[in-house]
Each structure stands twice: as C-alpha cells, then as structure tokens.
C-alpha cells in the first residue's frame, strides 16, 4: 500500500506538466516581442552554394564571390537568445546579397576574417539604394560569409561596390606580407519586373534527404546545360535530347567536414510517372556557377513525377574519426515534384 502511494506523486507530476509542455511548444514563436522585423514565412533554401555565385573573381590573393538571391530567413543572437529578423522573405523586392571572401593564396578556400561593406546604386540615375555593412553570417551549404537582406526594387540595373578590410588577424611567418590593404571590388546586375536576376537560371530544389551522414539534394534547371566529355585531352559535346532539363544531385558530408562536397560517388536517379520509368546514371560534373555535382540532361514531360535517388560507392579509405560517420551502404531518397511547362 505504501508503494502505491509513492507512485501517485510521479503520476500527478506528469498529469500537471505534460499539458504545460504541449501548450508551450504549440505557442512558442522565436523572436516574439523582438524589435527585429519578424516573419513566419518559410525561407527559400539554396543548398550548397559555397564556391558558386553570380560573380566570382580571384584578386589580391582572395577568391571573392558575389551573389544576389531571394530574401533569406535570418536570426540574430541577442543575450544568448535567437531572434528572427531580416524582414518578410516573401517580399519580392527584398534581396539577399552576399559576399564570400576566401583565401586564394595560402590555404585555398579557407574563409578570411575581414569586415565587408556594400554600396548599390541604380545604373541609370546613380541613386544610392544600399549603403551598409554586410555582417558576418553562417548558413547550411554556404558556411561563413557576409551579407544581409536589402531592399532592391525590381525592374532596374544596378552597380555595386564591395569594400573589404585588411585581414583582421595576427600573421605567422609566411603570411606577414599578405592582405594588408583594403580591397575594392565592383560589378553590376539587373532585375526583371518580377525581381529575378536577369541572365541567371537558379536551380529549383526537387527534394533533399539527410541520412547516414550524407546530405543529398536533387534540383533542376528550366532547360538543358551543354555537357562535354573529355578524352585524351580533347573535349567533345554530348548530344542533348529535345525537351531535356538539367538535373543535378549534390552529395555532401553532413557529419565530419560539414557540407563538404563528396566526389567518388555512384549516383543513379530513377524518374517515374504513370507507368513510365527512366533510369539515369548521373555523372560527375564541374560547372561555373554550380561547382562540383552529379548531373544529367533528362527529357521529362511537364507534370507530376517521382524521383528515386540512390547514392552509393563511397568506398574511399577512411581515417579514424571518419570511419563510421559517413554512409557505407547506399543512401536512398524518394521525392515527388512537378515539372512546370516550358516557358
């Protein structure tokens, strides 16, 4: 009897606290009460953008990457708490402008500690649209970079200037004479009436899966991309079937070296629709603006499709600490998506 009485206390504890936890989870809103403009809209997500952008240039011992994309969902840390900020990501005139500053001299591709400022002017009038700092930020598939959401009206051409400070770090022997002066970098871009960057085709994500230490993303472009096979030092164009779209699969390490792209995989995608089955081996591809990935031009009719993606063959040797973290068996994912009619 005494034991039964003891059991009553934990039961009362559960009965009282479980509803409180449920209500707290349902009603919690990050950034509530913050002065920062908040939004609950889902954020557009462009996977694995490191090393790619609207403009890429190697200068002054740096690899510089400039990009303009739809507004991103951003968080700031205030007294140890996350606050949602950056404005309404559904606003077509709000653009996420980013700058990557990487080492192109000592340890290729490493991020450099600098400060970055941005100026954007209308090309026709010279009116200043943006004049602001580009704070440091971190993103899945992009890593450490600089940028923010800025209001840039649609239907105009813009000139931009980025100013990068000297590298803000002590130097060891061999680096004492590098990156001592500010760097100024400039260019231009244009937006159409819908706010899209003119002359750039952005991949549309069809689906993604995180499994066994891998991040696998399937995406596609509206049309085909020329592909070239190299044999005996000669590049030959591959034939493109009419009605093709370019599909690409990113395979990245999500466990050991976060979001590092992985070569050496065998990637097969099976497209299915109404009894139609198309099995396509995706080959390793290197491309300006898209970087390393696995891709193929695939002729798919507009409409609803299912894509079954299989990634296997990661049979490289593994150091201690990486032996068990990444997939040893095939990783598979199935994605339902809709191919829009051609424009």
Tell me the pLDDT tens digit for each residue of 57-89: 999 999 999 999 899 999 999 999 999 998 888
Write down the CATH number for the domain with range 55-191.
2.60.40.2480
Is there a shared CATH topology between the 55-191 domain and the 204-339 domain? yes
Structure-token pair, residue 34 = 């913050």
- The dihedral through the CA atoms of 289, 295, 300, 303 has a sign that is negative
Tell me the C-alpha distance between 236 and 256, whole Å: 37
Tell me the C-alpha distance between 217 and 220, whole Å: 10
**Mean pLDDT computed over every residue of the chain:** 86
- The dihedral through the CA atoms of 234, 243, 190, 138 has a sign that is negative
Strands 128-133 and 116-122: antiparallel
Which is more confidently placed, 27 or 157?
A: 157
Confidence band for 1, pLDDT divided at 50, 70 and 90:
low
Structure-token pair, residue 208 = 């993604």
Strands 183-191 and 234-237: unpaired
Report the DSSP beta bridge partners of residue 120.
130, 160
Q: 38 to each of 23, 58, 76, 88, 159, how far by Cα in Å?
A: 22, 37, 11, 7, 29
Confidence band for 260, pLDDT divided at 50, 70 and 90:
confident
Confidence band for 13, pLDDT divided at 50, 70 and 90:
low
Give the pLDDT confidence score for residue 19 in this predicted structure.
58
Closest CA to 147 of 156, 155, 138: 138
**Are 91 and 73 in contact, with CB atoms under 8 Å apart?**
no
Calculate mean pLDDT across residues 251-272: 92
Share of residues in the chain with pLDDT > 70 (%): 84
Write out pLDDT tens, residues 290-321.
889 999 999 999 999 999 999 999 999 999 88
Tell me the C-alpha distance between 170 and 136, whole Å: 19
Lowest mean pLDDT, pick from 2-6, 96-100, 303-307: 2-6
Tell me the C-alpha distance between 318 and 139, whole Å: 27
Lowest mean pLDDT, pick from 7-11, 24-28, 295-299: 24-28
Tell me the C-alpha distance between 137 and 99, whole Å: 10
Number of C-alpha atoms within 13 angstroms, CB side, residue 295? 25
Tell me the C-alpha distance between 234 and 248, whole Å: 24
65: CB partners within 8 A, 6+ apart: 51, 52, 53, 55, 56, 98, 99, 100, 102, 145
Confidence band for 115, pLDDT divided at 50, 70 and 90:
very high
Q: 20 to each of 10, 28, 30, 35, 81, how far by Cα in Å?
A: 16, 12, 18, 27, 22
CB crowding 10-30: b at 16 or more within 10 Å, else e = eeeeeeeeeeeeeeeeeeeee
What are the residue ranges spanned by the domains of the chain? 55-191, 204-339
Write down the CATH number for the domain with range 204-339.
2.60.40.2480
Confidence band for 31, pLDDT divided at 50, 70 and 90:
very low
Helix (H, G, I), strand (E, B) or coil at 203: coil
Which is more confidently placed, 202 or 257?
A: 257
Structure-token pair, residue 275 = 């009894």
Write out pLDDT tens, residues 37-56.
444 333 444 556 666 678 88
Helix or strand run (H / E) with residue 7: helix 2-27
- What pTM was estimated for this model as a whole? 0.74
Give the pLDDT confidence score for residue 204 in this predicted structure.
85
Closest CA to 294 of 317, 311, 307: 311
Give the pLDDT confidence score for residue 225 in this predicted structure.
95
């Amino acid at each position: 009897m005494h034991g039964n009485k003891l059991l009553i206390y934990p039961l009362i504890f559960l009965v009282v606290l479980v509803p409180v936890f449920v209500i707290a989870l349902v009603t919690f809103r990050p950034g509530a009460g913050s002065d920062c403009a908040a939004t609950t809209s889902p954020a557009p997500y462009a996977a694995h953008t490191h090393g790619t952008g609207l403009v890429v240039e190697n200068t002054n011992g740096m690899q510089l990457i400039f990009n303009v994309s739809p507004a991103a969902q951003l968080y700031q840390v205030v007294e140890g708490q996350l606050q949602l900020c950056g404005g309404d990501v559904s606003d077509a005139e709000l653009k996420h402008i980013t700058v990557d500053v990487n080492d192109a001299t000592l340890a290729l591709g490493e991020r450099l500690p600098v400060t970055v400022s941005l100026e954007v002017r209308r090309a026709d009038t010279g009116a200043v649209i943006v004049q602001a700092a580009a704070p440091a930020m971190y993103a899945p598939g992009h890593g450490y970079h600089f940028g923010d959401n800025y209001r840039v009206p649609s239907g105009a051409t813009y000139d931009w200037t980025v100013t990068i400070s000297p590298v803000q770090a002590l130097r060891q022997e061999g680096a004492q004479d590098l990156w001592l002066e500010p760097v100024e970098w400039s260019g231009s871009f244009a937006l159409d009436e819908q706010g899209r960057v003119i002359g750039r085709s952005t991949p549309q994500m069809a689906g993604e899966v995180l499994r066994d230490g891998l991040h696998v993303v399937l995406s596609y472009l509206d049309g085909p991309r020329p592909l070239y096979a190299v044999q005996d030092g000669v590049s030959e164009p591959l034939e493109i079937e009419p009605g093709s779209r370019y599909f690409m699969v990113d395979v990245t390490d999500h466990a050991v070296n976060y979001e590092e792209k992985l070569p050496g995989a065998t990637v097969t995608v099976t497209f299915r629709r109404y009894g139609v089955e198309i099995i396509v081996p995706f080959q390793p591809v290197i491309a300006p603006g898209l970087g390393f990935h696995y891709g193929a031009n695939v002729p798919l009719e507009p409409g609803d499709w299912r894509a079954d993606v299989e990634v296997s063959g990661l049979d490289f040797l593994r150091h201690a600490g990486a032996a068990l973290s990444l997939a040893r068996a095939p990783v598979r994912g199935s994605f339902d998506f809709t191919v829009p009619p051609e424009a």
